[in-house]
């Protein structure tokens, strides 16, 4: 979906604040994951209910970890794009993604019209 009135990605846009935000979010996720792993060690010395509860907590932790891993992959991709001057360009139409959208969702890959089009499919 091409837009004629939107400029191509400019190399003069400053993404340092977004880069810092992404790095901080990545660090927070890793720290939270490490803390969560320490908090959810399973005690197998109890009765069956304790064991089942422990297994449930481990499964919950694993689900959180999968979401965190997916988010870290998005963050890593965004950081790579910033480092290689490819950040801020819609992957669908190649037009510039508005700065307000990038600030609100720094790992988005599409402009709003393209994202809405993809969601409708």
Are 103 and 113 part of one and the same domain?
yes
pLDDT at 8: 42
Are 56 and 99 part of one and the same domain?
no
Is pLDDT of 64 > 70?
no
Cα–Cα distance, 25 to 95 (Å, whole number): 26
DSSP H stretches of helix in 1-121: 16-39, 48-83, 99-104, 112-120
Is pLDDT of 22 > 60?
yes
Domain housing 115 = 89-121
Identify the band that residue 3 occupies on the pLDDT scale cut at 50, 70 and 90. very low
- Enter the pTM of the model: 0.68
What confidence tens digit (pLDDT) does each residue in 37-55 have?
666 555 556 677 777 777 7
Average pLDDT over residues 66-80: 90
- In degrees, rounded to 5, the angle at the alpha carbon of residue 108 between the alpha carbons of residues 107 and 110 is 150
Comparing 107 with 49, which gets the higher pLDDT? 107
Ramachandran bin of 23, using left for φ above 0, alpha for ψ from -120 to 50, beta for the remaining angles? alpha
Task: Count Cβ atoms below 10 Å from residue 22 Cβ, excluding itself.
Answer: 20
Residue 6 lies in a domain: no
Are 24 and 64 part of one and the same domain?
yes
Average pLDDT over residues 59-66: 70
Number of domains making up the chain = 2
Are 19 and 41 part of one and the same domain?
yes
Is pLDDT of 77 > 70?
yes
Cα–Cα distance, 26 to 52 (Å, whole number): 32
pLDDT at 9: 43
């Amino acid at each position: 979906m091409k837009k004629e009135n939107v400029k191509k990605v400019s190399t003069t846009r400053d993404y340092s604040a977004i880069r810092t935000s992404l790095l901080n979010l990545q660090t927070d996720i890793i720290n939270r994951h490490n803390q969560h792993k320490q908090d959810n060690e399973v005690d197998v010395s109890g009765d069956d209910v304790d064991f089942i509860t422990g297994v449930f907590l481990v499964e919950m932790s694993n689900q959180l970890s999968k979401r965190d891993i997916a988010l870290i992959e998005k963050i890593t991709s965004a950081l790579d794009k910033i480092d290689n001057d490819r950040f801020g360009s819609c992957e669908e139409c190649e037009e510039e993604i508005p700065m307000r959208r990038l600030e609100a969702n720094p790992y988005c890959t599409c402009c709003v019209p393209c994202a809405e089009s993809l969601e409708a499919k």
